[in-house]
Each structure stands twice: as C-alpha cells, then as structure tokens.
Amino acid sequence: MRRAATTGWMRYAALAALLCCALAPAQTRDPYAAPRRALIAELQAEARGDAGSLTRIDSDVLVVMGRVPRHLYVPKDELAHAYENRPLAIGHGQTISQPYIVALMTTLVQPRAGQRILEIGTGSGYQAAVLAESGASVHSIEIIEPLAAQAAQRLRGYRNVVTRTGDGYYGWKDAAPFDSIIVTAAASSIPPPLLAQLKPGGRLVIPVGSSFFTQTLLLVQKDAQGRVRTRQILPVRFVPLTGGH
C-alpha cells in the first residue's frame, strides 16, 4: 500500500512539474513587458501637475497604455526602440506619435465606454488601440492606403474599431456625430467638417500650425448650444494633415 501511495504521489509531482514547465513560458513570453512598465513609469513621472491642469495625464490612461503592446505597432527595424518615449518612423513619411503625446491627447478627449470617437490619421493603429481599450467605439481614417491596410490588420482583434482609407479632412459623415474627435496630423486650421460632426458637449483635439516648427495642440470644446471654445495646450510637432483640402 505504501509503495502504491508513493508511486501515486510521485506521478502527481511529476505532472505538477510538467504543468509548471508548460506554464512558465507563458509568464515570460513577452520580452517587452519590462520596457513597457518602464515607459509607463516614465510617463507617470511626466504626468505631474495640479488637478485640472490641461497637461496632466489621467492615471486611467496610463493603465490602458500599459496593456497595449506598442511593439506590435512599429516596423521591425524599430522594435528595439518601441518603448522609448519618442516618435518613430513608420514609413511613407509618417510617424507613430511619442507615447507622452498619445497619453496626453487620450486624456484630453476623455474616452469612455459607449462613446463614439473619430480618429483622423490611423497611422500604425496604436492611438486607435489605446482609445479602443477604453471601451469606446472608434472610427479611424487613414489617407495613405498601405498604412490603412496594415493598421486594419493590426486592429482586427478590436470589435469596437472600424477603419477605412480616405481623406480625414472631411471626417466620416455617415458615422457622425461623434462624442470626441482626435487628429494626429497638423492642419493649417480647424477643418469645418470636423466641427460640424462633433456633438454638442464634445471635444476635438488637434495640432494646428502652418509650419512643422510652429504647431500648437488645441482642445476644442463645443457646448450644448453649439458654441465653440478653443484652448491652447502646448507646442507640438506633427506631420502635416494631407488631403483634398
């Protein structure tokens, strides 16, 4: 009886060891987990400021960004830099925005579950993924066809993201109105079609400037009566908004 019990225990121990070995790779599979945590810690340090400050980053946004694998949204030759706090080239003269700017713009649009958000400039798809993690329904437009196709593939796991190729200057009239609109390229002025597609009470975040060196990130708010208030946030550098305007 003792031998049978001992044998049974040994088989159980062996099975447990096998299970541990099988589970161990799952816990260490992501080689980017540590640099992602380091990036979030860096952003948290940059998020200092008084409550209500327009440059303060929402802690909930940092939690979301900690879940989104930025390395999946950068080209292979930029993987080593995926979690550095700076913009990276994604081809076709475009960039994936600096993580701090992604965090700040996301904070400013205040995404919430059940909202409808329009993004102009899908790029690699990273900003859309961050917005989608909030539970909002995201409509994203990219004018450069190869980038739009790549982003659509990367974002296919999100049921709350819809993408298309098109000129974002004119928005997405068929899906309007939107609770928030976020523009990830600099316009010379605020596109009137975007203002028209913004709900009363909605927010539009957009970099505006005629030169790469003289751009300002703006927060545009439309009140219940449709009146518009514009506030300057900080100087930025974005690629220009392209299209038929």
Q: 11 pLDDT exceeds 80?
A: no
Residue 105, classed as helix, strand or coil, is helix
Lowest-confidence range among 26-30, 46-50, 57-61, 168-172? 26-30
Radius of gyration of the chain (CA): 22
DSSP 8-class letter at 236? E
Single out the catalytic residue among 53, 59, 97, 188. Answer: 97
pLDDT, tens digit, 9 for 90 and up, residues 217-234: 999 999 999 999 999 999
What is residue 212's predicted lDDT score, i.e. its pLDDT? Answer: 65
| Cα distances (angstroms) measured from residue 123 to each of 23, 40, 203, 210 | 35, 22, 21, 21
Q: How confident is the model at residue 48 (pLDDT cuts 50, 70, 90)?
A: low
**Whole-angstrom distance, CA of residue 188 vs CA of residue 186:** 7
Residues 6+ apart with CB under 8 A from 176: 118, 196, 197
57-96 tens-digit pLDDT:
999 999 999 999 999 999 999 999 999 999 999 999 999 9
Look at residue 17 and tell me whether its pLDDT is greater than 90.
no
Measured CA to CA, the distance from residue 55 to residue 87 in angstroms comes to 18
97 classed as catalytic = yes
Q: Taking a C-beta distance cutoff of 8 angstroms, is the pair 111, 117 a contact?
A: yes
For the whole model, what pTM was predicted?
A: 0.85
Cβ neighbour number for residue 99 with a 10 Å cutoff: 26
